[in-house]
Amino acid sequence: MQRIGVFVCHCGTNIAATVDVSKVAEAAKHEPGVVYAVDYTFMCSEAGQNLIAQAIKDYGLTAIVVCSCSPRMHEATFRKVAEENGVNPYMVEIANIREQCSWVHKNMDEGTPKAITLMKTAVAKVNLDAPLQEGEAPVTKRALVIGGGIAGIQTALDIADCGYKVDIVEKEQTIGGRMAQLDKTFPTLDCSSCILTPRMTEVAQHPNIRLFTYSEVQEVSGFVGNFDVKILKKSRSVREKDCTGCGVCMTKCPSKKIPNEFNRGLNFRTAINIPFAQAIPNVPVIDKEHCIHFKTGKCGICAKVCPSHAVDYEIQDEVIEEKYGAIVVATGFDQIDLHKFGELGYGVSKDVISSLEYERIMSATGPTGGHIVRPSDGKEPKDIVFIQCVGSRCEPDDRRGKTYCSKICCMYTAKQSIMTCDHIPGAKCHVFYIDVRTPGKMFDEFYRRAVEQYGVDYIKGNVGKVTPLPNGKLRVHGVDLLDQKEVELDTDMVVLAGAIEPNPSIRPLATKLTLSIDNNNFLNEAHAKLHPVEAATAGVFMAGTVQGPKDIPETVAQAGAAAVKAVALLAKDKLKTNPCVAQPDELYCNGCSVCANVCPYGAITYIEKEVRDHGVRETRRLAQVNPSLCKGCGACTVACPSGAMNLKGFTNRQIMAEVDSVCQ
Amino acid sequence: MSVIERTASPEAMLEKDTLAYLGPAEAKKSEGEFVPKIVAFCCNWCSYAGADSAGNARASYPTNIKIIRVPCSGRVNPLFILRAFEKGADGVIICGCHPGDCHYTTGNYYTRRRMALLISMLDYIGVDKGRVEVDWVSASEGARFAEIMNKFADKIRTLGRNVRLEDIRCRN
């Protein structure tokens, strides 16, 4: 029989306001095995932990039940207390009387009886707990960063500077990401490329960093400290080691009418292409979908003109297998498809463009060489309307957009209006907004500069419609909520600040890495406040806009945080493994293989073993679980027809006992 | 399956002191209003976290729903559900990660198949198949978790008391 101590936490008033904690502790004293029960204001505090330590000594406790917040919050804390005081950490059970009781029920009449039941259930389980021993697994001292934007670049550099090997996997042909597409950055108006490209070069030259561009993560298996990753390195059809990046092939390529993705389709590129001059690596890729040679077998001009004979149509895709200790996901964002907002003229008029397209137009490396012109006729616009929150802060039933605030649009719109006035003297900018949100260092000052110094006309209100006029202008129909009147403006160009969303590539990647994502496809952190860069899957971290909308400084800061977390993991020589793994009972196992068929990790193998049953010696085929591969999902326990398979920490008897207790 | 022992002695189950703490929910039952007993199996990674999110959002659901944490919805043996009915549960709901999002890759697919089979057999043994439900809740769907629980509790309330499988020796 266990000697159980029950510790009931008030959590200040979080629990105590709707649960009579003293009654819970009192009721615990009557449960089988319970020798001590007490309530205290904050069990997780040092004083609370000391209380548990003292009770272990005074009452010779062998098992502990803590009635407190979710086990996802403090199970580790209380296991550590137990371990430090000589009780096996797996002899601790948590009754979740905060998130699943006091916070969802309104008063003590409701909360107290439920809390008592939850306490009893935990006691019933802990009575059947057995001490478990953690195994040890080595750590592969290499990190994988998925995504080569500013988040991935910064993470990789920080990890590499700590002395660990890092691989970056980037699906595009160059690193740089969205930041490479931007013109200037708010609020300092630094040139985006000028601050980014030195970092890109640093990545390329760093002895600890390997770069896999034009590559994708194909398969991930293993676990924290020991991930096995298959990376698909797609064929560029150009040998990287021979290419000098001279660009002759691009000038001679006859397939020239392909929309240029880097410039958001505002101009055309060739089939063999380097997206921008500072690309890393500065090696072209042949787009097989559009290349005449790959379509018809003819042409081959690029191979002929290449002075270093680097073009090779025979190069095949390659799969690279590598082991990693930690993985950082930094796949970034994309702007939503604005074609859904036809009433605002996107897709109808060429002069209605997205803010990211406008960045390309403003950029010196863009399709117009940095001259702001209308895409339709190439004329300089004298009047521009910016519309904010296109697809951001939508009503939940408006399926075209997002309910969240995209966070960066207010600031880049202020920047774009300032830059427009700088580029085109005498230009007039109007901004339609719902709210102007400028929380950040020097942000509000920057916005006020746009209004006061540059005379940008901020109009609080929505735009209902943009109609192209026969004279080439665009008529903007909106409302001015402050003056309470309708507004009609004839303008030369309309820029839509479209919502940002996680890059669509995160969806399949999240499945491969078993990451948790929210309704908008942003990654969920292990804890919103205390584990902001850790994923719920151990050993996986996140940086940048894959976690939520954020600007460049925030992304860089988060990348540093993710790097530190990854390094803290890589610095360990051994990791403790989860002891809650499957265990077959040799007496019941008949070697039928059903469990091995359902195991997603291939953790179950079979051995021929000589056993003695009722005095008879015989050789039997028995299931055997490799504890370092088993992750403890329990699928095999249910599949086993003879009930031989069990899961440590969640045994059949324990769950049955919980069921009994709940139904009592 | 090995023999399951009672964890609490009958004396402890009938402990007068603990009965004294039973709140109005139980009191209502004695007055005749039906308060169903509902067991919710929640996987650790999505639904249990979803229930925590419901707590964070203070999204309320009935007290008579009690959550049992399992590593994966695929850990839920149909026998656990029959056991719950035997012990007097009126409804059982199993919640896992959305299909395709299982932390263990495929666990919830097994759940889906196993429970479809179990539900079809419930009809055969005379238990209303509406008493068992399977649903998917992700870690961020606190509001959805509460909504599912409220709906399920309402459904069980209309179905009434489950007497078909109940072991009368378990009544106290």
Q: Which residue has the tokens 């939940």?
A: A396
Residues 6+ apart with CB under 8 A from B23: A108, A109, A110, A112, A113
- Contact: B72, A633; criterion CB under 8 Å: yes
* Residues B134-161 pLDDT 10s: 999 998 899 999 999 999 999 999 999 8
**Residue B172, pLDDT score:** 53
The answer, for A351 touching chain B at a CB cutoff of 8 Å, is: no
Give tens-digit pLDDT for A43-78: 999 999 999 999 999 999 999 999 999 998 999 999
Question: Residue A32 pLDDT > 60, yes or no?
Answer: yes
Give yes or no for A598 touching B (CB within 8 A).
yes
Q: Angle at CA B47, nearest 5°, toward B46 and B50?
A: 90
Rounded mean pLDDT, A283-292: 95
Contact A105 B71 (CB under 8 A): no
Residue B170 pLDDT class (50, 70, 90 cuts):
low
> pLDDT band at A452, cuts 50/70/90?
very high
d(CA A237, CA A311): 6
| Residues A96-128: tens digit of each pLDDT | 999 999 999 988 999 999 999 999 999 999 999
Residue in B45, B61, B63 closest to A536 by CB? B45
Instruction: Give the model's confidence band at A611: pLDDT under 50 very low, under 70 low, under 90 confident, else very high.
Output: confident
Token pair 């604005």 in the structure block, residue: A338
- The whole-number average pLDDT for the span A207-226 is 94
Which range (A43-52, A288-297, A528-537) has the least confidence? A528-537
Arch. (CATH architecture) of A142-234+317-332+503-570: 3-Layer(bba) Sandwich (3.50)
Give dist(CA A181, CA A174) in Å, integer: 12
Chain A residue with CA closest to B77: the answer is A638
Lowest mean pLDDT among A276-280, A333-337, B91-95, B120-124: B120-124
Which residues are bridge partners to A212 per DSSP? A169
Does residue A196 surpass a pLDDT of 50? Answer: yes
Nearest-neighbour CA in chain A from B100: distance (Å): 7
CA dihedral A402, A406, A412, A417 (to 10 degrees): 40
Over 80: is that where the pLDDT of A400 sits?
Answer: yes
Q: Which residue has the higher pLDDT, B30 or A535?
A: A535
Q: What is the mean pLDDT of residues A389-403?
A: 92
Q: A121 to chain B, minimum CA–CA distance in Å?
A: 9
Nearest to A656 among B83, B103, B140 (CB): B83
Omega into A504 within 30° of 0, i.e. cis? no
Q: Judge whether A22 is closer than 8 Å to chain B, CB to CB.
A: no
Q: pLDDT band at B32, cuts 50/70/90?
A: low
How far is A157 from A302, CA to CA, in rounded Å? 35
pLDDT band at A393 (very low <50, low <70, confident <90, very high): very high
Q: Give the whole-angstrom CA distance, residue A211 versus residue A175.
A: 9
B15 vs A473: CA distance, rounded Å: 84
Q: pLDDT averaged over chain A?
A: 94
Answer yes or no: are the C-beta atoms of A628 and A228 closer than 8 Å. no
> Which CATH class name applies to A334-501?
alpha beta
pLDDT band with cut points at 50, 70 and 90 for residue B22: very low
Q: Average pLDDT for residues A266-284, to the nearest whole number?
A: 95
Residue A131 has pLDDT above 50, yes or no: yes
Q: What is the pLDDT of residue B21?
A: 42
Amino acid present at A401: G
Average pLDDT (A443-466) is 96
Number of residues in chain A: 664
pLDDT at B8: 46
Average pLDDT over residues A601-629: 88
Query: Measuring CA to CA, which residue among A116, A374, A454 is closest to residue B63?
Result: A116
Q: What is the pLDDT at residue A289?
A: 94
Give the pLDDT confidence score for residue A352 in this predicted structure: 97
Answer yes or no: CATH 3.40.50 is held by domain A4-126: yes
pLDDT tens readout for residues B57-78: 999 999 999 999 999 999 999 9
The Cα diameter of chain A in Å comes to 101
Are B52 and A655 within 8 A, CB to CB? no
- The ipTM is 0.83
pLDDT at B168: 67
pLDDT band per the 50, 70, 90 thresholds, residue A223: confident
With a cut of 80, say whether residue B167 has pLDDT above it: no
Mutate to test the interface with B, among A15, A19, A94, A104 (most CBs of B within 10 A): A104
User: How far is Cα A191 from Cα A168, in angstroms, rounded to an integer?
Assistant: 25
Tally of CB atoms within 10 A around B9: 10
Chain-chain contact of B105 with A655 (C-beta, under 8 angstroms): no
Query: For domain A582-647, which CATH number applies: 3.30.70.3270, 3.10.20.600, 3.30.420.40, 3.40.630.10?
Result: 3.30.70.3270
pLDDT tens-digit map of A175-193: 999 999 999 999 999 999 9
Is there a common fold for A142-234+317-332+503-570 and A334-501? yes
| End-to-end CA gap in chain B | 26
Which residues, numbered 234 to 293 in chain A, qualify as contacts with chain B under a Cβ-Cβ cut-off of 8 Å?
A: none
CA distance A227 to chain B (A): 15
Q: How far is A282 from chain B (nearest CA, A)?
A: 38
Any chain B CB within 8 A of the CB of A536? yes
Domains of chain B: 33-159 (3.40.50.960)
A656, closest residue in chain B (CA to CA):
B80
The reply to whether residue B74 touches residue A116, judged by beta carbons under 8 angstroms, is: no
CB atoms within 10 A of CB A106: 12
pLDDT category at B31 given cuts 50, 70, 90 is low
Closest CA to A502 of A622, A373, A334, A351: A334
CA A252 to chain centre: 41
For A32, the closest of B8, B37, B69 (CB atoms) is B8
Alpha helices per DSSP H over chain B: 10-13, 16-19, 24-31, 47-56, 78-86, 107-125, 142-159
For residue B72, the chain A residues in CB contact (below 8 A) are 633-635
pLDDT band at A624 (very low <50, low <70, confident <90, very high): very high
Rounded distance, CA A65 to CA A87, Å? 12
Q: In sequence order, which ranges of A406-487 are alpha helices (DSSP H)? A: 409-423, 443-448
Burial A16-34 (b: 16+ CB within 10 A, else e): bebbbbebbbbbbebbbbb
At residue B19, does pLDDT exceed 80?
no
Interface size A-B, in CB pairs within 8 Å, comes to: 206
The residue ranges of every structural domain in chain A are 4-126, 142-234+317-332+503-570, 248-305, 334-501, 582-647
pLDDT interval class at B18 (50, 70, 90): very low
pLDDT value, residue B6: 41
SS3 label, residue A657: helix
The residue among B30 and A431 whose pLDDT is bigger is A431
> In this structure, what are the phi and psi dihedrals at residue A172, rounded to the nearest 5 degrees?
-80, 175
Instruction: Tell me if A118 and B66 make a contact (CB, 8 A cut-off).
Output: yes
Measured distance CA(B172)–CA(B170) in Å, rounded: 6
What is the sign, positive or negative, of the torsion defined by CA atoms of B16, B22, B26, B30?
A: positive
Q: Does the distance separating the beta carbons of B66 and A121 come in below 8 Å?
A: yes
Query: Which of A15, A102, A403, A633 would best serve as a mutation to test chain B binding (most B beta carbons within 10 A)?
Result: A633
pLDDT confidence of A516, banded at 50, 70, 90?
confident
What letter represents residue A339's amino acid?
H
**Which residues does chain A have within 8 Å of residue B71's beta carbon, measured at their own beta carbons?**
580, 632-634, 647, 650
SS3 A381: coil
Q: Is the pLDDT of residue A472 over 90?
A: yes
| Burial class of residue B116 (count of CB atoms within 10 Å of its CB; 0-12, 13-18, 19+) | exposed
Res B4: pLDDT: 41
Question: Is there a contact between A638 and B139 if contact means CB atoms under 8 Å apart?
Answer: no
Q: Are A375 and A350 in contact (CB under 8 A)?
A: yes
The predicted model gives A209-221 an average pLDDT of 95
